[in-house]
Amino acid sequence: MPSVDPTPLLVVAFLGVVLVVVLITWVRMPAFLALATGSLAVGLGARMPLPDIPRAFQSGVGDTLGFVAMVIGLGTVIGKLLAESGGAAVVSNALIRLMGERRLDWAMMLSGFMFDLRSMPWVIQVITYVFPARYFVSLLQTLFLAGNVWSVILPNAAVLAVFAAVLLALAVRLTRKRIG
């Protein structure tokens, strides 16, 4: 089997990355459309058959998203096991000892990323109601651990939609003031 020079494919891939960056920064194209356009250009530049390009894009995006979903799901399961077994307190104390009392805020933040919110003090639980991440994480935990539990999914999705609408309205209002 003759060896193939990879240089032309590397040049095509590099030009595809440049195209995506230009489309996002100068043309102001949405990132997903820029990635799709860049992958189409790379596919054509690599002389892929036209019907294979969308399948390759779908496969690449699907594999990446599947990997990310698996990491989030496994992290959720491990965090729940640590919280239930008392391991959360051990890990939090170890982080505090490791980072020192001067960096207590960082140690608590790191432990907060690892453990279920219900294992936190009630004051922290109340404060988190103003952060959209609370509802998103709850929605993801429900989907990964329990499946389609609509009594949890719908309220969290509704709160996220309200956050999105309020932030969009605020962005439009602030942008309109600056432009006008």
Q: Is the pTM of this model over 0.85?
A: no
CA distance 71 to 140: 12
CA distance 175 to 160: 22
pLDDT single digits (tens) 7-25: 888 899 889 989 988 988 8
Is position 155 within any domain? yes
Is position 135 within any domain? yes
Is position 108 within any domain? no
At 178 the pLDDT is: 57
Check pLDDT > 70 for residue 72: no
* Number of domains into which the chain is organized: 2
Average pLDDT (103-132) is: 70
Is position 161 within any domain? yes
Cα dihedral 69, 74, 76, 78 in deg (nearest 10): -170
Average pLDDT (147-172) is: 84
Is position 74 within any domain? no
**Which residues have CB under 8 Å from 152's CB, separation 6+?**
138, 139, 142, 146
Helix (H/G/I), strand (E/B), else coil: 121: coil
Choose the most confident range, by mean pLDDT, from 111-115, 119-123, 140-144, 151-155: 151-155
Helix (H/G/I), strand (E/B), else coil: 71: helix
Average pLDDT (128-154) is: 75
Is position 8 within any domain? yes
Check pLDDT > 70 for residue 54: yes
Is position 117 within any domain? no
Average pLDDT (73-79) is: 66
Average pLDDT (34-54) is: 89
- Lowest mean pLDDT, pick from 17-21, 95-99, 131-135: 131-135
pLDDT band at 110; cut points 50, 70, 90 = low
Average pLDDT (131-139) is: 75
Is position 136 within any domain? yes
Cβ atoms of 127 and 117 closer than 8 Å = no
Check pLDDT > 60 for residue 1: no
Range of the domain at 156: 131-180
